[in-house]
Structure 1
């Protein structure tokens, strides 16, 4: 199986890979045309690879398109699991819509920037001034009810399976639980229904590589968001490698088994 990757960090433990620098994608079209799979392209490369060069990419096209924008992500989640989302409104940032949000939501509530990750662009809105400042910086209002959480769940899906899951525990008084922002980690006591829900929704949407973030409130699971290129800090600390899971999935997707001696030329 011939594999090309644009991200050596995320495919470090997958054998038989040719690496290409993202900015050299068009210089190496011949190598790419011979590849069975192209792994971890940057978002700006996706359309050229899929529609131009007719390559199969990993993560999937749906993973990229839905994971790139929280607005599109939420609309897709509404279509397959509406009972598992916090109350959310998405509206243009007009003066009338700003006032409507302020009438509909009580403080505090959460406002998000549609294209951001790792906790960046997620704001706890505690007063009118804070929301007006947020609205002035964003063309789209993405507003959710505030869920009082001391921890949330990260469920990692590769292919068709949840391969890891853990709690992200915020520091005392912290709003964000993200590991990248100092949150703690616990792999204990993860409810199996969270894994089953993430697997079902991933399959429904065609997502084959993502970290799904969920909240558990009064026995009900809620999706907060998912990240296609999620942080691996907690997994690395646990000694969990995703490369074998990725390779098993790709080998089971209709491509002949990996032949370690069949390498593509190295891109210089």
Structure 2
């Protein structure tokens, strides 16, 4: 009999070996049968941030790991973790409140990058700060400012690591007049060979950070590969461009016990 696993979120809903029951705002909204499935499952797949926290508290395994969920769309935690682990990352600082924000120009020269520190994805909430006017526009209504060194690049690499192995990697090339490489913002996917050094960095980062399902964005700057950020809710455009069936890949990894 084929192995079947239990998932809450719908990310694997097209996988034949995944039973997806949905995310309920209250645990009591699950039927008695569904609640029993959850209690008896060795591992819950895609439980959401909320339930991943609860399942970790009672010692139930999840996929992605609890460590993966702790950094979902949180650039502040990601940068601090990269820095703590000694992983290559653009120079980044977080500034809180008006007094700290007033010192940004002492730490960074123009141009620099400003980002929405939490909750942004697909390139939204990423700003190129060219001058004091741009900086004021970014900081005036934010208590927290996330500022990063600007790297003059026109492409980066998306490496998808699942269960400790690279399942896909590809280049993203920025569109004309755009500094961001996101496909959602007009970036172009290239399936040219990805250097082994970038793949090795992605595997090392995923392992050190405890992330078992992540799309890592990496660039080459001055001959050195650098981690830009981690995406736990990565898109599937790169898989489609390469003719890779994402769901079949995940099905096989589940059948083989890799995830």
TM-score normalized with structure 1 length: 0.86
Matched position secondary structure for 1:95: helix
Which of 29, 37, 42 in structure 2 is aligned with 1:36? 42
Residue of structure 1 equivalent to 2:169:
165
Which of 74, 92, 95 in structure 1 is aligned with 2:79? 74
1:215-235 Cα deviation digits (max 9, x unpaired): 111211111101111011121
1:22-75 Cα deviation digits (max 9, x unpaired): 1266213212112232111222222223324x4311111111102341111111
CA distance in 1, matches of 2:134, 2:66: 36
1:140-185 Cα deviation digits (max 9, x unpaired): 2210111111111100101111111111011111121101222100
Q: Structure 2: which 5+ runs fail to align?
A: none
Residue of structure 2 equivalent to 1:259:
none
Residue of structure 2 equivalent to 1:60:
65
Residue of structure 2 equivalent to 1:193:
197
Residue of structure 1 equivalent to 2:243:
239
Which of 103, 106, 111 in structure 1 is aligned with 2:109? 106
Higher RCO, 1 or 2 (CA under 8 Å, sep at least 6)? 1
Give the stretch that moved more between structures: 69-78 or 129-138.
129-138
Residue of structure 1 equivalent to 2:56:
50
Contact 1:209 1:228 (8 Å CA) reproduced: yes
Matched, 1:90 2:94: yes
Matched, 1:223 2:224: no
CA distance in 1, matches of 2:50, 2:76: 19
Give the stretch that moved more between structures: 142-151 or 27-36.
27-36
TM-score normalized with structure 2 length: 0.89
Contact 1:66 1:76 (8 Å CA) reproduced: no
Matched position secondary structure for 2:24: helix
CA RMSD of aligned residues (A): 2.1
Residue of structure 2 equivalent to 1:19:
20
Which of 122, 126, 132 in structure 2 is aligned with 1:122? 126
CA distance in 1, matches of 2:258, 2:211: 17
Q: Structure 1: which 5+ runs fail to align?
A: 256-268
Report how many aligned residue pairs link the two structures: 251
CA distance in 2, matches of 1:240, 1:192: 20
The 4+ residue runs of structure 1 with deviation greater than 6 A are none
